Each structure stands twice: as structure tokens, then as C-alpha cells.
Structure 1
């Protein structure tokens, strides 16, 4: 057999073959030399310092930048699609959420404003240089984005520049431009009729009227709550502040009568046994 030993040096790997006399032939020694040379050639050649520098200089960051920009574009389109509920891939929303509106963020950073009823009345749209405000249940909303509806001549102009909570329930826009809800439950109460009321025992009639009053008050509450939620959740009308009133202001206000439109909707109380049918 022949023993092959490799010697390391600066040049190519040199192979020394030592013959084991009497056991290795010349052809076997040559074969071992060929194997050693093929192994040395198959080893990867290490790059020198100059070659590494050349690789660094040839690197361009534009491909990575293009990849990042492409990812951002795709992510933006996907996010727009999700936020808009499938309406747009390019953030072109008809009614964007409040958190996507510049005016909403300005209002949040500025903080809520406080206006007296007299100050609020100056924002009814007659002065085009001022925004249009309306209030409901003490909260002020900016409805300037719909000036055609809430401005002068608009169908809802009576709501502008005032807290007209009562009119949202009664439907009397011009007459009920006030937040005073006292007596408004009457529009949901049945009319008293002596001929019908006499059919009830006194205790039963009293219990019935109490129940009717509670149900009427609940209907007023639900009717007003519907509009409060409408403005709170509307992306078009940002909430900007609150109405500032004097303490116990309601005690100084005269009690309003039920407007004609609301009064016409009342029905007489049913006779015993008819209310369940």
C-alpha cells in the first residue's frame, strides 16, 4: 500500500507518495496522486481582500428599496380595503372614519369648546365665514360639511345654532328649538275619556296611568337616544364641545305646551279588555 501525505504551503497542495516496497505498484501510486490533485482543485478558493472590496462597491441598495416600497403599496391597498369595507383600495372613501379626518384630529388636540346658548346661536350658518354648529342633549357637533341641509334654507336649518333636543322627538322643528323635554311624554300618553275611565276601578285606573307614564317616558328617552347615537357615530359630524348653561337653568324656563303636530298623534285610552287586543 502507498501512504499519501499532504504538505501545506503557500502554493498548491503538494502530495508526497511513499512507496511501501513490495506492496504498491507504480500505477497505484499514480492513481493516488490523481485523487489528491482532484481534491485540491475541488476546494473553493478564498477571496482576497481586494475581491471583497469590489463586491461591496458593486452592491446597489435600489433593489431593496424597491422591495420595501412595493410591500408598503400592497399593504396600504389591503388596509384601505379593510377599513372601507371593500369600498376602495386607494383610501378614496365617501365618508372616512373620524380618525382619518384632519379636522377631527385638530379638535382632539385643541380640546372641547364650551359655548353658551347665545354664543351657539352665532353658528347657525347665516355668517358664511363661521362653521355651522348644532347641539343635542348638551353636546355640540360641527355640521359644516352639510351646509346645504343645515344652513339657511335647508330642511334642517332649525337645528343649527341651538340645542333643539325637544324638536328631534316632537317633530316640531320651528316651535321646539329647546333642550327642555318636560311634558314631552304627553305625546305618547292616551287621552283621558271620562266615559272610558269610569269603566275602570279607581285603583286599577291609577295603576294603569302610572304604567302609561313610565312607558311614555321611556319612548321619549329612546326617541332622543336614537338621534344622539346618530350624531355620535356619524363620521361627517365631529363632536367639538358642550353647551355651557347656568346652574338650575331649567327652573327658570317656562314649561312648554305640547306642539300641535305632536298633540294630534294622541289616541284615547282603550276600554278594559281592549288594551290587550
Structure 2
């Protein structure tokens, strides 16, 4: 009986009322996602995802790579060539980048007399510096320190000094008259040595020596003719106009002292070398 009453009197478990639940919700709120987290968790619509993928262009990345390679190439070429590049400036640009070269091509060659050519010797800063060799005129204005006043080769400017290119007498031989230059390559006559040949042998020997001397003059002048003709710095201008009958209208120049002093005597047969 006592057990029965005990079981009857046993209290039923308390059930939480709505008010209790409400109080619990107020005192202990559940964590709420922030606005940023909500945006991140929000699924992207398939249409929008496709539009974003279509908007991406690989050419942007390609352009970035090409730009980097271009700048790196410019920097490397600048370091290797010490600034002698297309973008960093060139001391000796190719002819197609020179305005004077195009002017000459469009204008055609100039024909100047020796007197007219002398006005382009560098003394007038408003005029270019011209020189001529073997009748052909070149513009050497890019190198005023060499061909301008006070330069080591100032005697070449304003003239056709072909003779001086071979003889080395810059001041004395400012002329294109090459007559007699071959003498600088001819041996000196000496009776004590020349007696080792017969008269006929000596005549044949002198003829051979003269032929070889003329070839040396030709080769010496041709070297400088090709130098200016093939130069990337000096532009072709035109030609020198000579008076009719030149150079026969002028006296033959004597060999200058510098060239004369380098002449040697013939060597006795068997002592060559």
C-alpha cells in the first residue's frame, strides 16, 4: 500500500512552458551569420557564373606576358649595347632613319666645283661638312671632331684630297691629282747598286717596279674609297665637277717630303728579303 501511494505521489517531470522557451531564446540567442557570410554562402546562379566565365579573356594575360618580355628585352639590349639601340638612341642609325639620306635620295646627287666644295669645310656652322675622294662627295657632319676645324683630318673637309690619303701629306696634298704618287713606291737609283744589272735587265726591272708601284697607289686609294662608300655614318652627296682637260691643265706636283723620305734603294740581287 505504501508502495502504491509512493508511486502515485511521485511527481511527473516538468514540461517546459512556452514562456520558458521564449525566455531561454532571449537569454541565449543562437549565433546568426553575418551579412558577409550570408553573401558568401549565397549560391551563385548558373547564368551569372557562365557570364563571369565568358567575361574572362586570356588575351589580358598574354598581353601582360608580352609587355614584360618587351620591357625586359629593351633593358637587356640597353645594358649589352651601352645604350646603342633603336629605342634608347643610336649614334649611327641606319640610313633609312636619317632625314638627310632621304633628302639626298629625293633630290638626287649634287655636282659641286672644287670652289663650291670648299665652302663646306666646317668653318660655317650653318652648313654641313663635306669631303670628296676620287671625285665622290660625302657628308661627314656627324663627325665634326675629326673633320671639323681643329680635327685631326680637317684637311680632308671641303676638298677632294685623294692624293693625301696615299702620301700621308695632309696639308700639302689637298688635291685629287694623283700624278707622280707612284714614285713613293719606286726604289732610288744608285749607280753602285744598279751596276749589278745589265742595261736591258735594269730597264725591265724598272718597268716591273713602276707597274707594282701604280698598283700600290691604286690599292691605297681604293681602300679609302670603299671605306666611305660602305660607311653607315657618312652619306653620299654627289660628285665633283672638274674643268675640261683636268688634270692636264695643272702642273705635276712634286712628291711631298714625307713620301720622298720613305723611298729605299734597290737591293743587290741575292740580298732581297
- The residue number in structure 2 matching 1:239 is 236
- Whole-angstrom distance in 2 between the partners of 1:210 and 1:266: 17
**2:122 is equivalent to residue 128 of structure 1:** no
Q: Is 1:66–2:64 an aligned residue pair? A: yes
1:55-94 aligned at under 5 Å gives the runs 56-57=54-55, 59=57, 62-73=60-71, 80=77, 86-88=80-82, 91=85, 92=88
Q: In the TM superposition, what whole-angstrom CA distance separates every residue of 1:65-116 from its partner, at most 9, and x where no partner exists?
A: 43443454456667x58xx9x5247715764353474246434454433222
How much has 1:159 moved relative to structure 2? Answer: 0.8
Aligned counterpart, 1:43: none
Equivalent position SS for 2:64? helix
Name the larger-Rg structure. 2
Q: Distance in 1 between matches of 2:178 and 2:147?
A: 22
CA distance in 2, matches of 1:188, 1:90: 42
Give unpaired runs (5+ residues) of structure 1. 1-46
Count of aligned pairs: 225
Do the aligned partners of 2:84 and 2:90 also contact (CA within 8 Å) in 1?
no
Listed as ranges, the gaps of 5+ residues in structure 2 are 1-45
In the TM superposition, residue 234 of structure 1 has moved relative to its aligned partner by 3.4
TM-score (norm 1): 0.68
- 1:209 aligns to 2:218 (yes or no): no
2:113–2:242 Cα contact (<8 Å) kept: yes
How far is the alpha carbon of 1:272 from its aligned partner? 3.0
Larger RCO of the pair (alpha carbons < 8 Å, separation 6+)? 2
Moved more, 108-117 or 146-155: 108-117
Instruction: Tell me how far 1:175 sits from its aligned partner.
Output: 1.5
Q: Is the deviation greater in 108-117 or in 169-178?
A: 108-117
- Deviation, 1:180, is 0.9
Structure 1 residues 179 and 89: alpha-carbon distance in aligned structure 2, compared to 1, 3 A threshold? closer
CA RMSD of superposed structures (Å) = 3.1
| Structure 1 partner of 2:184 | 187
Residue 98 (str. 1) matches residue 94 (str. 2): yes
Distance 1:104 1:213 in 2: 43
Equivalent residues in 2 for 1:14-93, closer than 5 Å: 56-57=54-55, 59=57, 62-73=60-71, 80=77, 86-88=80-82, 91=85, 92=88
CA–CA distance in structure 1, aligned partners of residues 226 and 213 of structure 2: 20
